[in-house]
Amino acid sequence: MSSQKLTELHPADLAEIMEELSPAERQGIIDSLPEETAAEAIAELDKRLQTQVVEKLDPEKAADILEEMSPDEAADLIASLAPDTSKEVMKEMERHEKTEVEALMRYDENTAGGMMNTELVVVGEDATRGEVVDYIRFNEIIPDQLDNVVLINHYGALSGTVPIARLVIANSEQRMEELRFEPILSVRTDTSEKEVFELFDKYNLRGLTVVDGDNRPIGAITVDDVVSRMNAKL
């Protein structure tokens, strides 16, 4: 199958194909793919194969692929690498992505901090729906970040979230504080993953904000993060 046809496959289908191949064939596919497509496919592999694939890559190539992943995915993968390989790959990463990954790697993987993604949309609670939509368009926010928009007050503290579905149906002049989800939920970085699972189940959440000691939003956990973590434990 040509590399062009491989890029047209869904990442999950591409990963399924790769799992049936020999290590050499698997590496050949990764080498032939654009970095973004390679990142999406690797993210769908089981953790053992993720580690095998990345450890066989040139550190610069590995860094370029990891930079296309979400920070939490990249942090989990780098943590699974051999120490020497991890250092070499981190050395090749761009400063911004490296800083985000290093920050996430400080948290216990079985806590909210270890599950969260630092890519989230944060706006003032007094902003209008129209202003927020313009902000999202201008900043080219990727769809994976749009389960919820996080609201902060004048002190920068969390004041709620607005599900993207509510944003879509609201009128342009409505204030974000009028659209927020109730109850206002959040977790600290040291909250156990068990408590996170329970909150998602109880309130049927699409996303959950993670806050620091001053109640400032620093990350978010999505339902996809929860499903992936639960599947990994099966």
Per-residue confidence of the chain (234 residues) as pLDDT tens digits?
566 788 889 999 999 999 999 999 999 999 999 999 999 999 999 889 999 999 999 999 999 999 999 888 899 999 999 999 999 999 999 999 999 999 999 999 899 999 998 889 999 999 999 999 999 888 877 776 678 999 999 999 999 999 999 999 999 999 999 999 999 999 999 999 999 999 999 999 989 999 999 999 999 999 988 988 887 766
DSSP for 150-213, please give it. Answer: EEE-TTS-EEEEEEHHHHHHS-TT-BGGGT--SS--EEETT-BHHHHHHHHHHHT-SEEEEE-T
* Residue 99: alpha-carbon gap to chain centroid: 15
Is residue 136 located within the same domain as residue 98?
no
Is residue 131 located within the same domain as residue 82?
no
pTM for the model stands at 0.83
Within a domain: residue 111?
no
Token digits for 71?
A: 């920070």
Which residues have C-beta within 8 Å of that of residue 4, sequence separation ≥ 6?
none
Is residue 130 located within the same domain as residue 193?
yes
For tokens 């216990």, the residue is 108
pLDDT at position 13: 94
Is residue 130 located within the same domain as residue 154?
yes
d(CA 159, CA 178): 11
Is residue 139 located within the same domain as residue 172?
yes
**Distances in whole angstroms, Cα of residue 149 to Cα of each of 124, 191, 219:** 10, 21, 12
Which residues have C-beta within 8 Å of that of residue 199, sequence separation ≥ 6?
185, 187, 205, 208
pLDDT at position 109: 87
pLDDT at position 5: 82
Is residue 126 located within the same domain as residue 227?
yes
Q: In what order do the strands lie in the sheet with 186-188?
A: 186-188, 207-211, 217-222
Within a domain: residue 33?
yes
Contact 221, 210 (CB under 8 A): yes
CATH number of the domain encompassing residue 209: 3.10.580.10
Is residue 19 located within the same domain as residue 75?
yes
Is residue 128 located within the same domain as residue 102?
no
**Distances in whole angstroms, Cα of residue 28 to Cα of each of 7, 55, 80:** 14, 14, 22
Domain of 169 in residue numbering reads as: 122-232
Torsion of the alpha carbons at 107, 109, 115 and 116, rounded to the nearest 10: 10
Within a domain: residue 115?
no
Domain boundary among 77, 106, 135: 106
Is residue 57 located within the same domain as residue 151?
no
Is residue 212 located within the same domain as residue 150?
yes
Domain boundary among 80, 106, 132: 106
**Distances in whole angstroms, Cα of residue 208 to Cα of each of 104, 125, 160, 218:** 17, 17, 10, 11
Number of separate domains in the chain = 2
pLDDT at position 144: 65
Within a domain: residue 145?
yes
Within a domain: residue 117?
no
Is residue 131 located within the same domain as residue 92?
no
Is residue 129 located within the same domain as residue 228?
yes
Within a domain: residue 113?
no
